[in-house]
Amino acid sequence: MGQAVAGQPGVGRVLVVIPTYNEADNVADVVARVRRAAPAVDVLVADDNSPDGTGVLADAMAATDGQVHVLHRPGKEGLGAAYLAGFGWARQRGYDAVVEMDADGSHAPEDLPALLAAARDADVVIGSRWVGGARVVNWPWRRLVLSRCGNLYARLALGMPVSDATGGFRVYRLSALRAMRLESVCSQGYSFQVELSRLAYRAGVRIVEVPITFVERERGASKMSPLIVAEALWRITTWGLRDRRPGRRRRGHDRWP
Ligand SMILES: Nc1nc2c(ncn2[C@@H]2O[C@H](COP(=O)(O)OP(=O)(O)O)[C@@H](O)[C@H]2O)c(=O)[nH]1
Ligand SMILES: [Mg+2]
């Protein structure tokens, strides 16, 4: 072949998937910061037909930068569905790793090089708010309590040695996603992150947590809702009970194209 392998040293071709719903005030800034912080990686904005025109803004960036792409989805289907579609897009195009990152600036693109460096020796890298060296800036106390309690519950119910199972700033090697058998994924909302943590843990892939600085969004509104919290609680409880019954076969439908 004699061709240099493009992309991130030790990781390969990387696609940062940024799910968006009404992030017109944030999307240009976050994409530009990713491109500056990690010039070798490509970006895919996975937009759920945001009424505020986020998808149009993303198209404008894609028109002038060949490393920026947009996946237009027909309507709001939740974070999990947007990520599965983005991961499928990456798989079809031969990427070696995908990154999950929020559009609202909470996940600092400047932390991305540290996550990618850790991915050289790992299959899954979790940018963690709850390990030594991490910082959480400007988060309301309600969100802090929710995150700490949610993570404690997830860790106890699922028996996983993961400090931030709900966090959404991560690197996954495509080989790990294949081993995790994403066809069983059923989460709609943010329980997607816990579900993937669990699948990674159960698949026995190498998981590493790296401290990040998480900053509350300054623009736009959070899409967090009581329904999303309820889904996470319900699903973690169900998985916890299921994991205690050995030998039960997993069933699911194929949502990973
Ligand atoms: N495509 C898509 N993105 C979503 C959806 N819900 C949330 N997001 C995106 O997921 C990321 C995290 O959402 P956010 O509202 O910031 O949640 P919070 O940080 O927990 O308050 C942001 O980039 C949102 O735009 C959805 O239904 N579809
Ligand atoms: Mg946010």
Confidence band, pLDDT 50/70/90 cuts, at residue 159: very high
Within-domain flag for 147: yes
> Residue of the nearest CA to atom 11 in ligand 1?
102
Predicted local confidence at residue 188, as pLDDT: 86
List the structure tokens of 84: 């599965």
Indicate whether residue 79 lines ligand 1 (CB < 6 A): yes
Within-domain flag for 27: yes
Within-domain flag for 174: yes
Strand duo 170-173 + 124-128: pairing: antiparallel
> Residue of the nearest CA to atom 26 in ligand 1?
78
Ligand 1 mutation pick, 102, 145, 231, max ligand atoms within 8 A of CB: 102
The region that residue 254 occupies, defined by phi over 0 for left and psi between -120 and 50 for alpha, beta otherwise, is: beta
Within-domain flag for 5: no
Q: What is the pTM of this model?
A: 0.93
Q: Who contacts 239 (Cβ-Cβ below 8 Å, separation ≥6)?
A: 157, 158, 195, 198
Tell how far the Cα of 6 is from the centroid of ligand 2, in angstroms: 31
Q: Please give the number of the atom of ligand 1 that sits closest to the Cα of 102.
A: 23
Q: What mean pLDDT value characterizes the chain?
A: 93
Within-domain flag for 93: yes
User: Could you tell me the residue range of the domain that residue 47 belongs to?
Assistant: 14-243
Tell how far the Cα of 224 is from the centroid of ligand 1, in angstroms: 8
Within-domain flag for 100: yes
Confidence band, pLDDT 50/70/90 cuts, at residue 201: very high
Within-domain flag for 4: no
The count of structural domains within the chain is 1
Confidence band, pLDDT 50/70/90 cuts, at residue 6: confident
Indicate whether residue 104 lines ligand 1 (CB < 6 A): yes
Within-domain flag for 257: no
Q: Who contacts 33 (Cβ-Cβ below 8 Å, separation ≥6)?
A: 108, 109, 110
CATH number at 198 reads 3.90.550.10
